[in-house]
Structure 1
Amino acid sequence: MRKPRDFDAELKALNDRARMLKERKIRQLGELVIATGADALDIDTLAGGLLAMVKDTKPDQKEVMRKSGAAFFRGSGQGEAGDGAEPNPTATAKADGSTQPFELKPSEN
């Protein structure tokens, strides 16, 4: 005869895993805010900036932001090595490797 499944234990394990993943995501987002220097902003400004980025539906603007983020992470790995180089989260990478200032513009509705 087959052993019955313990649905309660499986559900508890799934809930524990979901809670752990949520806590990890929250911790990583907090670390990202600190690493970019956004923790120096007041909470209203930070929330407003994030909301503006979420509402911006222009693919070209999102690509600029994605490239800026990728350049930040490439630079942050080198900056932690102790060479004194700090990543510039306000610069975006161009195709030729140079950077230009990044300005978040509110989306036009």
Structure 2
Amino acid sequence: MKALEAKAKTLKERRVRHLGELVIATGADALDADMLAGALLGAVAVKDTSVEEGWRKAGARFFQRGASKAAARSDRGAANDTTTDGHAASA
């Protein structure tokens, strides 16, 4: 039983970490906590499927753009000297 509780705790911590990373990656960390909470509550309350589908498509584009940027950085990284944070080293 303790092993299951430990696994559940680990999964919850990972989920919280990933949500935090998503907030930062989208730039939503620039919002104050009240604004971010309000936006999320508004999103949860929306019952219009066309609005939800628009958000879903925008989210998919965001993740696809992120994947293509990561691939482009990887391709450039083989040819360019990069720092550990993925930015090109300055001359």
Could you tell me which runs of 5 or more consecutive residues in structure 2 were left unpaired when the two chains were aligned.
74-91
Deviation per residue, 1:19-72 (Å, 9 max, x gap): 000000000000000000000111111110000000001111111100000000
Q: 1:30 aligns with which of 13, 20, 23?
A: 20
1:18 corresponds to which letter in structure 2? A
- More strand per residue: 1
Residues 1:21 and 2:2 aligned together: no
Q: Percent identity?
A: 53
| Residue of structure 2 equivalent to 1:65 | 55
Any gaps of 5 or more consecutive residues in structure 1? 1-10, 83-109
Whose helix fraction is larger, Structure 1's or Structure 2's? 2
- Offset of 1:78 from its aligned partner? 2.0
The CA distance in 1 between the partners of 2:69 and 2:30, in whole Å, is: 19
Which amino acid in the other structure matches residue 66 of structure 1? R
1:41-60 alignment to 2 at 5 Å? Answer: 41-60=31-50
Q: CA deviation at 1:79?
A: 2.4
Cα distance in 1 for partners of 2:14, 2:49 equals 29
Q: TM-score, normalized by length of structure 1? A: 0.64
Whether 2:66 is the aligned partner of 1:76: answer yes
The number of aligned residues is 73
- Higher relative contact order, chain-length normalized (CA < 8 Å, sep 6+): 1
RMSD: 1.4
Q: What is the CA–CA distance in structure 1 between the aligned matches of 2:3 and 2:21, rounded to whole Å?
A: 27
